[in-house]
Each structure stands twice: as structure tokens, then as C-alpha cells.
A and B are shown apart, each in its own frame.
Chain A
Amino acid sequence: MKQKLKNTNILSTVLSIVIAVLLGCLLILLVSDEPLSAIKSLLVLPLSNTFYMNNIINKVTPLILVGLSASVAFRTGLFNMGVQGQFYIGAFMTAIAGNYLTGLPKGLHIAVVFLAAVCGGVIYATVAGALKAYFNINEVVTTLMLNYIATLVTSGMTNSYFRDPDSGGVIRMRYIPEYLEFKEISSLITAHAGILIALAMVVLVYFLMKHSVLGYRMETVGQNKVFAQYGGLNIKLITIFCFAVSGGLSGLAGSVEVLGIHRSFFDDFASGMGGDGLIIALLASNHPAGVLLISFFFAYLKVGGQIMQQNTDVSRELVLIIQVIMIMLISSRMLTPYLNKRKFAKEVKKNG
């Protein structure tokens, strides 16, 4: 029975995606003077050559990590809307540790850079977690506020104290030393090695959520708080732990993005990242494998949107609109009853 339910869920997700993309195309038809070339840029061109494909892999790396981050929190029944802020803190710490701890041996330096980013994310998220656990302050409001604070404070720091004197009109820090940067995976797959970290994290989070006592406890808290408390679980500690894991993953995403792509911290360089993470987690029903698949789909849409903006008169915000339609269709389970009915009718027909 559970298996069947799952299949319907996957089917309804796929169907929602198809409907959303079709509606997006309809919108293109409405606003564009060259709709066919816009649709082609959005949907066909990203898969047309290896350059774009590698671009997709580069884009998918942070998406997987932020998606996992959001899904860990959702599974525990918490809304970590602060993925964006934790992402910036992680990225900022990476650039600081990369630039200003240069005396260390190279191997140690790499480890310290990651540690700094993850710790930054963990600590920043734990603030919201602790406020939730001990003062029962709604985590939605605090994490949203913390996003603005992180964006502004990292921006102010970069602007006033850590700005590279040679950066010209761009507000950014100095570029990190070369040995810290991620290498290309191979001559064919020119995407940076961050994707390997992201994939490792998918496996790790899968084991945490599905095959560990801690994951089981987190899920219990997420599904029934009263029951969890009755069973003797320390909800406060689990809340904080969940935020710490979630924040650590977001921080890592920021770090990977700096080490792999930007090589420095730019002022407000990835403003939609947190939102993407939340949407991916929701569409994937918080399953790590689902996060992986949906992230790839999102990266494909993003690259398509970029090509579309370059080639035609349609702006890439269209991709966001498509994402919102998807999320509405899926979170409301609009299609599920319809699909269930059809399935039921089919079974009745088969079994008589």
C-alpha cells in the first residue's frame, strides 16, 4: 500500500512539473515576440552541448546542498527559512579563512577553510534553533530576520573592511589562493569537484535520516511532537541539533560555491539560493534522492533561463514563476486525488 502511495506521489510530482513547464511556455507565448526561440533556449539548448551540461553540473552543486539543508529541517517539522543567511555566512567565512589564514600548511588550510564555513553556518542556524527551543520564538520569523542580517552584515564587512583594492567597480574580497580552488574533474567533465562533495552529502544525509537512531528521533519529533515528548525524547536538543545540521549544510553550500565558482566573496552574490533550497526540499518530499533529482532539474531550468535571457526578450524570472507553479501544484496535492481515482478505476476494471 505504501509503495503504491509513493508511486502516485512520484507520478503527481512529475505531472505537476510538466504542467508547470507548459504553463511557463504559455506565458512565453503571451509576452514574447519570438516565443519559439525562447522556448527552445529554455528547454532544448541546455542539453545541446557539453559546455552547457557542465554549467548545469556546476549549478546543481550548491542546489543539492541547500536542498538537503532545508529537507533536514522539514523532516523534523521545522521551517528553516534561513538557508540564505547561513549560505552567505558560510561563503563569507570561506573567503575570510581562505584569504587571511595563509600561513598554514596547504592541507591543513583546506581543512580549516571548510571547518570555518561549516561552523559559521552551524552557529548562525543554532541561534534560531536555540531561540525556538528555549523561548519558543517562531523559527520562521527569526530565520527570515537572520537572513536580512547576514546579507547586510556580510555586505558591510566586504564593503568597508575586506574589500579588494583592485576590485574596481565590483564589491568583492581578494581572490583566494589558487591551491584552495576546486579543480576540474576531468578534461571532458570540466565542472568543478564540488559536485563530489554534494553527492557525498546526499549519501550521508540519507544514512542520517533513514538508518540512524538520531534521524529516527528527528522524524518522530517532526511527525508527532507530543508523542515524541511522551517517549522521553529531548525535543529542545533535537531542535537545536536539527538546525545545526541544516545550517552546516547551508554553510558548506556557500563554501563550495566560493571555492568552485566565484573564488572570492561578492556582495550579495546568490540572492535566490535559500528559496531554491526550500522549494527543492518541498518538491522532493524531503527525500535525499529526490533532492538530487529535483536539483538537477532546477539547474537545467536555471541554465535554460540564462540562455533564454541572453538570446531572447524573455527574462529569466520566468523560471521562478514556473517553480512557484510547481510548488503550488505539489504542496496542495491537487493532482493526487485525481490520480488516485484513475488508478482505482483501472484496478476495478482489471479485477472486475
Chain B
Amino acid sequence: MASFFFQQILNLSVFAIVFKLVAPVILAAIGGLFCGKVGVMNIGLEGAMLVSAFFSIVVNAMSGSWILGILAGCAASIFLCLMLAFFTFKYKAHHIVTGFAINTFASAMTIFLLQTFFGSSGSYQPEKVAMIPVVNIPVIENIPVLSVISGHSLIVWMAFFSVVLCSLIFYKTPYGAHLIAVGENVQAARSVGIDEMKIKYSAFVICGILCGIGGAFLSTGATSMFVRDMTAGNGFIALAVISLGNARPYGVLRGGLIFGFANAIAILIETYPGLSVPSQFIQAIPYAVTILMLTVHMLQNSRRMLAPAKG
């Protein structure tokens, strides 16, 4: 069995699986990070991704353009995020409650539209989908080991890029400083004339864009169909990844990759020939791994706090 895994890792197919799994999670997590910075734990990530997955594939199939698909997905996702922001900030509803409502709404609406317009309650599989392109890097794709970084979807690159961009925005731009100020001390932010609401809503718009891209990847990049509730907890895992990364952009990347590798190993076990474990058990591994990682992470954190300071 060990040799089987070793072979798979040598084949580098693991990386392809990891990146594919991790891209939407990282995108959503970075989006959630923006909301987290202004003090909202956005559990609506799941719903935002779901509507984006739906609208991107519908527009994609109608227009034949993946760019329009992503844009439509983003628009739907931004709309949902703004709705969440509106109810949370304007009417002071509890963000977990509104987030939960948003998720239910997204799930119900996509199924409702699926049934109303496509007459199916399970899935929608258009004949022609313009898939989000794969980036093949000319020379590198022929070099043995380096070829790992070639042949991934554009969205995978966007996910990594979003981490870098997020870090730059947070720590190098005035906007990032305002964002953090609003999240940590609203009074102080107000007193220096920061428009609190503008910052808060803008964070949700950014979150909407990122969730939109992640959702579009699910339906028009990783697959070419929409299945009801196809996000399958990706948004929730993104929340776990945020706390794994101590709410820092590169931490999110690290947390996401750990999660991705754990998952890829699970998938390899699933495809291991002659294994008779029910497939559902293996599908449950990512969620169990998430809880386990959170526990280990929190244990480490509390150790660190308890340990006597050096020097």
C-alpha cells in the first residue's frame, strides 16, 4: 500500500488533485477573511458560492463565454453577500442567523430555479459549456518535476494570487489599515474620519467577488455541470481554514494546503484497488480532518500562550 502512495506522489497526480480541491476553499476563505476583519463570521460563504456556481453555468451555457459566466456568478454572489451585510449592519440581525438564512435561501432558490426553468430537481448539465481554460506553461510543462506547476486551471492561479493580493491589501495599503481599524476598534476608526459603513460593505463586495470566482470554478472549471447543493460544505471548510490560519492570508494558504493534502490522500485511499471501505466513509474524511486539525491547532495555540516567554 505504501508503495502505491509513493508511486502516486511521484506521478505528481496528487498535486493536481490538491490544487483542484483547494482553489475554491482558498478563494472563499480569503473572502471570508475580509468579512472577518470587519467583525463578521460569514457563514454565508457556502450560499454565495452555490448561487455563483448556478448562475455562472447558466450564463456560460447561454452565452458560450466563460468570462461572462464568471461575471454572472460574481454578480449573484455579490448580491447575496450584500444582502447579508445589509441585514447585519443596517438591521443588526445576528450574522450567524442571517448567514444561515442566506445559505438556506441559496439552496432553495437554485433548486427552485432548476426545477422551474430546466425541469430537473437534481442537476443541470448543459450540452455545451465553455470551460474555464487550463494554463499550460510552454517550456516548463516538459521538464519532469517542474511540470507540477503547469496544466492547472486559471482559477487555481487566481486563488494563489488572491492570497498574495490579500496580504498586500491588508498590510501595505491604506484601505487595509482602515479595514483592520474598523474591525478592531470602530470608535477609533470613526474618530479619524474613516467611513465605517463604506469599509464594511466594500469588504463584503470583495468577499462576493472571491466567492463568485470559487463558485464558478466548481460548476464550469472542476466539472461542467451544476448539482443541487454542490458546494458540499466548501464554504464551511473555508471558515475552518480561516481559523487554522490565525486569520492571516498566508496562514489561510497554509491551512488550505494542509487540508488539501489530507483530502488528496483520502481520495487516493478511495481509489486504492481492492479496498472495500464504503465510499461514503472516505467522503467523510475531509470533514473529520477539518475538526481534527482545528483541535490540534487550538491545542498548539493554548500551549503557546501557556508557555513562559523566552528572553
Contact = CB atoms under 8 A, between A and B. Distances in A.
Interface of A (DSSP majority class): helix
B43 A152 contact: no
Nearest to A309: B115
Interface stretch (A58-66, A94-102, A224-232, A330-338): A330-338
B123 to A, nearest CB: 15
Interface stretch (B100-108, B135-143, B148-156, B204-212): B100-108
Given A321-B105, A321-B108, A141 B298 contact: no
Contact of A157 (B108, B111, B278): B278
B87 A332 contact: yes
Interface of B: 41, 43, 87, 90-94, 96-98, 100-101, 104-105, 107-109, 111-112, 115-116, 121, 232-233, 236-237, 239-240, 243, 278-281, 283-284, 287-288, 290-291, 294-295, 298-299, 302
Given A141-B240, A145-B233, A160 B94 contact: no
22 contacts: A131-B295, A137-B243, A137-B294, A140-B41, A141-B236, A144-B236, A145-B287, A146-B287, A146-B291, A148-B287, A149-B284, A152-B283, A156-B281, A282-B97, A315-B116, A315-B121, A317-B108, A328-B87, A328-B93, A331-B93, A332-B87, A332-B91
A160 B295 CA distance: 30
Contacts, number: 128
Interface residues of A, number: 43
Contact of B111 (A160, A279, A317): A317
A187 interface: no
A142 B294 contact: yes
Nearest to B292: A145
A159 interface: yes
Contact of B112 (A146, A156, A321): A321
A138 interface: yes
Contact of A317 (B87, B92, B112, B294): B112
A324 interface: yes
Contacts of B279: 156
Given A315-B111, A324-B104, A145 B291 contact: yes
